Structure 1
């Protein structure tokens, strides 16, 4: 599937960084087709790879969903009824949540972020004033206000291939959502048990990013994403040498490649050499790059 591009294709490049002036700028290799690595405080791009290529973003969408919820007028402590999902959600996403039961809005948001629960994300949109249509309109107007000019949303979960963005645009979203302590906390919760009512039952959830379980990582924000058209995606905010670095890794092969890419970025920042990428991931990257005009 081809997506229109705006602006000049930047390709892959690395720039000088205050993080490590001695780092080898050519020593990084990633499996993700599109990527942006940015020091958040000063907005300095440490590395960029096809960061303006427009692509489906799958459940990375839920970061914008979280932003709309946090900026909205609704009480996070309100109990929300789980509605019958729309066709897209019911067709493409399995959920253990019982239709008609209730869960607090804050818990719906936590589940949408940490475990990428699609029905939870849909419920947040459906319970918004004006419903799903108003919620998605707000997502798009907020994207425009943030300067995310190559971004468009059609649903709150990311199940639709119509949710598209770029790595560069998503850095702007990371900058916006990182201001909210709840989003940071909810997205990095390793495990959580949600308690529903009417009827009463509980469900346990785990974070879809296994890096949040590792003490060797200081992760402050996290979101994974996957649909076939988007490939494997990972967005995270982590501290290196006391500085916050945002990683946007889009469209990678297999569930292990984004995690491996995050490790390669970490190694590159520390040593100047990321290490290599598996052959299957590199072949996927080459094939996907052919979908975009030169």
Structure 2
């Protein structure tokens, strides 16, 4: 066969080495990877969609109004979600017997949800209407406060009270336990000195200040005498002490004179204090009570007893059994005793008292008595005999001690 027309089988078989073939393959792979990384990527375009050349601006280029609108929408959505979540959790708490921790409830409703779980229905009603609860408690307390027939309080025994006017009231609840012509306006004699002591203490004068008895302090109403002579000098403490304990008239007159504006201003202050306390049927013309124009009612005087009991000196001085004072000026010491026979006898249940007597008023006494730890005010006016007002108080105290156990 000619040289130029040889068949493929006639050529000698030639093979490249294996390492050369591997290098060629790796080179081709390297070229392909480099071309793919360097070429720009373009988005795949769908033939049926027309892509706009204008790209939407980023969010930071939006107008302020649109940004605010989006913020409001987000807040409203967040608030709605939180409200729904709170309602759901409240329903879950109310429907289940096992309470959920308060921290898992929305902050606005933590207290209400916790209270609804912890408190029973009766407690919630009591908390919702505290005034009704207190009113019911007061009503039950008042119903239990009464004088009992088995303790001797009957229509017949009540008729044995000699005084013209009687008023007995529980101080805490203002429950009237018994009364007799409690609104009758009557002269009150030296019971007026309780108001004298109240007004005098309201002036806030130094109680150690010496106070001298003058001719103006003499009694020009009944022309009664006094062991405290003109020219005697006592401290305001001693004047107040013997005025309340022994009903010393010149001591009370000296206290009423030693006032800014004199005695007329002091009497005006007594009447103003009475109006402030609600004593609508009370009137004073002097500080001693020697005038029959010093008038009041048993009901009004219970208000004065309640006000006077807030002054520790009035409580202490009016219930002291005895006191010795030195009037000075070379005069002898004067010993005074309590004008109330019950206090002189050692009745420790009496924590405040004041007696009084003039012919127009009869024998009068007001008492605050502790009965089984409960303050009871007793007012007795117009008793005819010298011991009738004390007898009435003794009878009433027996009824109280038995009935209020």
Using structure 2 for the length normalisation, give the TM-score.
0.61
Tell me the secondary structure at the aligned position of residue 269 of structure 1. helix
Q: Give yes or no for contact 2:169–2:378 (8 Å, CA) kept in 1.
A: yes
> Is 1:123 aligned with 2:230?
no
Report the CA distance shift for 1:262/1:171 in structure 2 as closer, same or farther (over 3 A): same
Give ranges in structure 1 of 5+ residues lacking alignment: 1-15, 273-294
Deviation of 1:26 after TM superposition, in Å, equals 3.3
**Deviation at residue 92 of structure 1 after TM alignment:** 2.7
Bigger helix fraction: 2
Q: Are 1:26 and 2:178 matched, yes or no?
A: no
For 2:248 and 2:218, how far apart are their aligned partners in 1? 16
Partner of 1:80: 211
SS class of match (1:31): coil
| Contact persistence 2:182–2:299 (CA under 8 A) | yes
Distance 2:375 2:300 in 1: 18
Q: Extract unaligned runs of 5+ from structure 2.
A: 1-141
Q: 1:226 & 1:54 partners in 2: Cα distance?
A: 16
Q: Structure 1 CA distance, aligned partners of 2:213 and 2:268?
A: 21
- Please state how far the C-alpha of 1:86 moved relative to its aligned partner: 5.2
Alpha-carbon distance between aligned partners in 2 of 1:126 and 1:199, rounded to the nearest angstrom: 24
> What are the Cα deviations for residues 124-162 of structure 1, in whole angstroms up to 9, with x where unaligned?
011111111111000000001100010000000000010
Change (3 A) 1:141 1:270: same
Change (3 A) 1:182 1:94: same
Counterpart selection for 2:183 from 52, 59, 84: 52
| Mapping of residues 1-294 of structure 1, within 5 Å | 18-19=144-145, 22-23=148-149, 26-27=154-155, 28-29=157-158, 30-85=161-216, 88-89=219-220, 91-271=222-402
The structure having more radius of gyration, on CA atoms, is 2
For residues 34-53 of structure 1, what are the alpha-carbon distances to aligned partners after superposition, in whole Å with 9 as ceiling and x for unaligned? 01101112221111110100
Higher strand share: 1
Q: 2 CA distance for matches of 1:248 and 1:139?
A: 20
Whole-angstrom CA distance in 2 between matches of 1:89 and 1:39 = 38
Q: How high is the TM-score relative to the length of structure 1?
A: 0.82
**SS state at 1:201 partner:** coil
